[in-house]
Amino acid sequence: MKKIKSIIFFFLAFITFSFFMEIFLSSAAITVPSISVDKEKGERYVANKTTNSLFTTEGFGLAKTNSLGWYGKECNKNTRQDINIGVIGNSFVAARQVFERNNFVTKLEENLNNSLEPSVAVFNFGKEALPTSELLYLVNEVENDYKLDYNLVLLNERSFEGLNRMVPFYEKKQDKFVLNTSFKNSSKYKIYRTLESVGLAHSSLTFLMYRVKNQLQNAAPIVFGKLYDIFQKNEVQKSQPSSLTELDRDIIKEIDKKQKIVFLLDLEPKKKAVVQECIKNSTIIDLEPILDSIRQNYIDPNFWKISGKEGHWNNTAHDIVGKALSKELIQKKFKTIK
């Protein structure tokens, strides 16, 4: 009987604690749920949210999503201009670490409009954890749904990491690209749908646990010290550059077949050479000289003062990349319409 009472009291205490923690997290906006799972498109950003996050070493997650679930300005008939450009890529494009006004996508639009007579709109289609197999899905989506004049596609080292999210992705079978939607059969997806059915899918506490799970390898050595140094070893292994697979090369070639694609490359020399070999039709803009120009001024484009660590591009990098990229685009694509 005593054991049963203890179990009951434990669950009551846990429920009470969770209830007040949820109120605290939500009202203080310490961590705002920013990820939802669409039944067809998989993990996407929640619409109309400022993505504050406690678990970040790069700013405080200050970017805001629009009503379509993308960061920055919404792409619709009221925001479209004479020339409409989409920027597609991973978390370096989404850049939830910075305000929209500081993102290189915004800076690119500002500088193009200062240099060209036709009005230009640039839209952010960035999404975190976007390996090439999912990138192709997103490029197809943006091409079909938004029908823009140009799509800039960013490829960097993280574009070739493994796929570990609930998303649809392309694989190749018998020389044909096949869309894989097996995420719908995963236990994580089923748990999400269960939480959704009881109104907890967008709970701040649920999202906090989701973020903790994703950041556990980073946090474990700090919280638990040497006892869990195995996590540190895994993290070192994870951060090593990934090599291009045959599927990666095939996907780059497939994207290259599309019209008005511009590839933005931020890759180490050997990998960049392999990627360039795959691109026969599209314009290529190498971002490395731009980033090197920042380093020559003794500024690390990936360094964040708030944590003393390296990560995504900081505000200085976004500003300089936006300006330099606009010059490159004018020279390579828009010279005739100044």
Q: Specify the pLDDT at position 46.
A: 86
Residue 184 C-beta-side C-alpha neighbours within 13 Å = 9
Q: Specify the pLDDT at position 208.
A: 57
- pLDDT tens sequence across 279-311: 999 999 999 999 999 999 989 999 998 788 888
Confidence of residue 210 (pLDDT cuts 50, 70, 90): low
Please state, in angstroms and as integers, the Cα–Cα distance from residue 83 to each residue in 20, 116, 120, 167, following that order. 49, 10, 5, 31
8 A C-beta contact, residue 262 and residue 285: yes
Comparing 169 with 20, which gets the higher pLDDT?
169
Q: What is the four-CA torsion angle of 231, 236, 242, 243, rounded to 10 degrees?
A: -120
Residue 31 C-beta-side C-alpha neighbours within 13 Å = 19
* DSSP E strand stretches across the chain: 35-38, 42-45, 83-89, 120-126, 150-156, 169-173, 176-180, 261-266, 283-286, 303-304, 309-310
Question: Which of 51-55, 188-192, 311-315 has the highest average model confidence (pLDDT)?
Answer: 311-315
Please check the confidence at residue 236 and state whether its pLDDT lies above 60: no
Average pLDDT over residues 20-48: 71
Please check the confidence at residue 333 and state whether its pLDDT lies above 50: yes
Weakest mean pLDDT among 73-87, 196-210, 311-325 = 196-210
What is the pTM for the complete model shown? 0.81
Confidence of residue 76 (pLDDT cuts 50, 70, 90): very high
Comparing 10 with 187, which gets the higher pLDDT?
187
Please check the confidence at residue 13 and state whether its pLDDT lies above 80: no
Please check the confidence at residue 73 and state whether its pLDDT lies above 90: yes
Q: Specify the pLDDT at position 226.
A: 42
Q: Specify the pLDDT at position 35.
A: 78
Please check the confidence at residue 154 and state whether its pLDDT lies above 90: yes
Structure tokens at 57: 């070493």
Q: Specify the pLDDT at position 200.
A: 62
Please check the confidence at residue 202 and state whether its pLDDT lies above 70: no
Q: Specify the pLDDT at position 19.
A: 55
Confidence of residue 18 (pLDDT cuts 50, 70, 90): low
Instruction: Write the class of the CATH domain 31-202+242-337.
Output: alpha beta
**H or E segment and range at residue 292:** helix 288-295
- Furthest CA-CA distance within the chain: 84
Q: Specify the pLDDT at position 20.
A: 54
